[in-house]
């Protein structure tokens, strides 16, 4: 069963597309978005919470970020969904297929034509993900997080993130060149990024262990040096952080010893 996202800035068109998709027995769930930035935010939340999204059915001509730009941004994700364009314009088909679109439907959408597009999505998804395999990629794969900055959408690499701070319903991603506010719970991000080496050092702080350069103790209080910042470690997480750094130090010693032999 497929999980898809329908995107169109025109409400009647979005309602019609959603109705047709939900009527298809191969589709389990249909989410909706009224523009491309909202669709990117929905996609990001799905990926972070390990929810599966198999395909996006979207319009091309939308205000702000259009469907083609949206598809270009998808290339930054480790496992982007399939893309099916649903548009009233036939002059973008070549560009759409160059971007890797699976199908290109013209409005008004005929049910049998949409059914054929769903069949293509179903075949592509089951060809790419063998039965029994999960959707998350390997831990060493990078992940791109879409963030809004000055009315524009930018992709931030997980590898560039040094630490994350909880701020109410949001998290602030800190990188070497700035910080970005993203609407998602810290607990969800911590679970998603655990295999990539991010550890909890405080109930409101998540740190990329690769960016920790030093562990300090002062008057019974622990802190870690991350870039130019000194971040406090709660008593609850002190042993976990210390054990992690000890293991990393021993691994480095072992690797150096093997090189010297």
pTM: 0.55
Strand-pairing partners, residue 55, are: 4, 82
DSSP H helical segments within the chain, as ranges? 11-22, 36-48, 67-74, 93-98, 111-128, 186-193, 235-260
- pLDDT score recorded for residue 135: 38
Q: What is the pLDDT of residues 147-196, one digit of tens each?
A: 766 666 677 888 999 999 999 878 899 998 889 888 778 887 888 788 88
Size (the chain), residues: 261
Has domain 2-128 been given CATH number 3.40.50.2300? Answer: yes
The CATH number for 156-260, chosen from 2.30.29.30, 2.40.50.1020, 3.40.630.10, 3.90.1150.10, is 2.40.50.1020
Tens digit of each residue's pLDDT (9 = 90 or more) over 85-132: 999 988 888 788 778 888 899 999 999 999 999 998 998 888 754 443
The domain locations on the chain are: 2-128, 156-260
Non-local (6+) Cβ contacts of 52 within 8 A are: 3, 46, 135
């Amino acid at each position: 069963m497929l999980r898809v996202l329908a995107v169109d800035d025109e409400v009647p068109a979005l309602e019609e597309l959603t109705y047709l998709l939900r009527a298809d027995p191969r589709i389990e769930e249909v989410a909706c978005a009224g523009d491309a930035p909202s669709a990117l935010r929905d996609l990001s939340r799905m990926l972070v919470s390990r929810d599966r999204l198999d395909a996006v059915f979207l319009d091309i001509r939308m205000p702000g970020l259009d469907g083609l730009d949206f598809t270009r941004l998808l290339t930054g994700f480790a496992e982007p969904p399939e893309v099916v364009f649903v548009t009233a314009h036939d002059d973008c088909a070549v560009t759409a297929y160059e971007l890797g679109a699976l199908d290109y439907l013209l409005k008004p959408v005929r049910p049998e034509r949409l059914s054929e597009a769903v069949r293509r999505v179903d075949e592509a998804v089951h060809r790419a993900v063998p039965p029994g395999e999960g959707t998350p990629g390997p831990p060493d794969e990078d992940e791109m997080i879409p963030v809004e900055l000055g009315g524009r959408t930018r992709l931030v690499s997980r590898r560039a993130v040094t630490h994350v701070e909880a701020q109410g319903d949001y998290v602030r991603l800190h990188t070497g060149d700035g910080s970005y506010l993203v609407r998602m719970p810290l607990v969800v991000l911590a679970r998603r990024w655990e295999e990539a080496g991010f550890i909890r050092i405080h109930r409101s702080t998540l740190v990329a262990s690769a960016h920790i350069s030093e562990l300090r103790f002062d008057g019974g209080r622990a802190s870690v040096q991350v870039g130019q910042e000194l971040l406090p470690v709660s008593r609850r997480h002190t042993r976990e952080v210390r054990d992690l750094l000890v293991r990393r130090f021993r691994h480095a010693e072992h690797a150096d010893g093997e090189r010297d032999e």
